[in-house]
Amino acid sequence: MDRSRLHQISDVEWELPPTGDMNVPVVLYADAPLLDAMDDEVLAQAANVARLPGIVRASFALPDAHWGYGFPIGGVAAFDAEMGGVISAGGVGFDISCGVRTLLTGLTKAEILQRQAELADALAAAIPAGLGQHGALVLDDDGLDAMLEGGAAWAVAEGYGEPSDLPRIEHGGRAAGADPACVSAKAKQRQRREMGTLGSGNHYLEVQEVADVLDAAAAEGFGLVPGEVVVTIHCGSRGLGHQIGTDFLRLMTLEAEAAGWRLPDRELAAARINSPLGQRYLVAMRAGINCALANRQIVAHLARGVFADLFPAARLPLLFDVSHNTCHAELHDVEDARRMLFVHRKGATRALGPGHPDLCEELRAHGQPVLIGGSMGTESWVLAGTAASAAKAFGSAVHGAGRSLSRRQAVKRWTSREVVDALAARGILVRCRSWRGIVEEAPGAYKDVRVVVDAAHRAGLARKVARLRPLVCIKG
């Protein structure tokens, strides 16, 4: 990225002042090397977001930002409905509520290594992963609607997990105000047999060792013990979320054209929050969020079953479940006033600070766990929200490393055998139904997650708690 247009605020904060029809500045959180490695399209997309009506404070790009659809991935923007603010399907993304949950095991790395291959095979057999894979659960129309309205709370009521899981999921495991009637029949049909599945791309289940602890007090509060093992699940709303995004992007584009509304980019198709279309998308998107929350709840239940068979004494309590790709109505302080804003996080994670009332009592003292997924074979991280994070980017932090190479570029650079052998040499077992998928998600296709996490830590978006190292990776 060309830095000549940017004003440097600190070593990890940069600003593009508003020009022309930009309503607010663009603020980028990254150090100079990360910024230099970003494509110029990130700045162009963030500037286009700054042109949308009703945007508040700034259009933000986080350290893992890269080119996306409409919004940059790693983009955050908040809109005020009372100022004519908009909601954008492109600002949420196609994989609505794609997110990460981490389960504690209490098992040591040594215990896992004794049965590592057996565990990898059992997890791969129990949890469907990959494009077009179906789960054992098939939902009828009533079941689909109940799931879309109830989220993880519905899944728990159906026997997938424990009530104690729910306080450790964003919004108690259910996005209130979802309306399944606003989700198309095609979207529902795509999800009928996909509950409890991982999907493809960068989605995974990993067994990980707690390799390092950087904040002893927070790690103890989170239940993270050096040398012990956790299970991390990364997946989303599968075909349903993608179809909701597709349906509403088309509707938003058509309505904007009919109204003569000139969009800065067709991919930024949006609707006024208070318009009928904006409200329909909002309640459909909430149904997509509930789908993802229920999906991760079921996948976690399947993983718990595998561990119960191989390690009968193990219990897998939930540390936390956090979503990316959402838009939530949240109260924030802006210009000395408390305002209800609709915060879009596209490839970004909510990061509530210590004492926040939305956190359960066990976590409140330390701030929200922020789960940063690595790319197959690279480390992952647990961070915590900071007291300053709300003033930085509406309480948002990075969600991963961010791609540095496209999937097509990765396929040209490596072979699947090279990737699998290199991981095996480091003690990491991979199980994947797609050889191409392994290459597309090669560790080298992503930015250095340590550099991204370090920039987020230095910027005050979230603080480092623990580093996780993979032992087993189940991919689609």
**How many Cβ atoms are within 10 Å of 369's Cβ, its own excluded?**
30
Instruction: Specify which residues 328 forms β-bridges with.
Output: 343
Please compute, for residue 58, the number of CA atoms within 13 A of its CA located in the half-sphere on the CB side: 19
The residue annotated as part of the active site, out of 66, 234, 399, 457, is: 399
In sequence order, what are the residues at sequence separation of 6 or more whose Cβ sits closer than 8 angstroms to the Cβ of residue 280?
179, 182, 248
| DSSP assigned state of 165 | G
**How many Cβ atoms are within 10 Å of 192's Cβ, its own excluded?**
17
Two structure tokens written together for 390: 């709300």
CA distance 71 to 87: 12
243: nearest Cα among 287, 278, 201: 287
Give residue 294's region: left, alpha or beta (phi > 0; psi -120 to 50): alpha
CA distance 323 to 141: 26
What is the Cα 132 distance to its own chain's centre? 21
**Residue 226 to residues 25, 107, 220, 230, 385, Cα–Cα distance (Å):** 42, 11, 10, 11, 21
- Say whether 399 is catalytic: yes
**How many Cβ atoms are within 10 Å of 319's Cβ, its own excluded?**
20
Two structure tokens written together for 57: 């404070």
Please compute, for residue 75, the number of CA atoms within 13 A of its CA located in the half-sphere on the CB side: 31
CA distance 241 to 291: 8
CA distance 71 to 69: 6
320: nearest Cα among 416, 231, 420: 231
470: nearest Cα among 351, 377, 398, 349: 377
CA distance 281 to 5: 36
Yes or no: say if 172 and 153 are a contact pair by the CB < 8 Å rule.
yes
DSSP letters of 74-99?
EEEEEE-GGGT-EEEHHHH-SSTT-E
By annotation, the residues acting in catalysis are 399
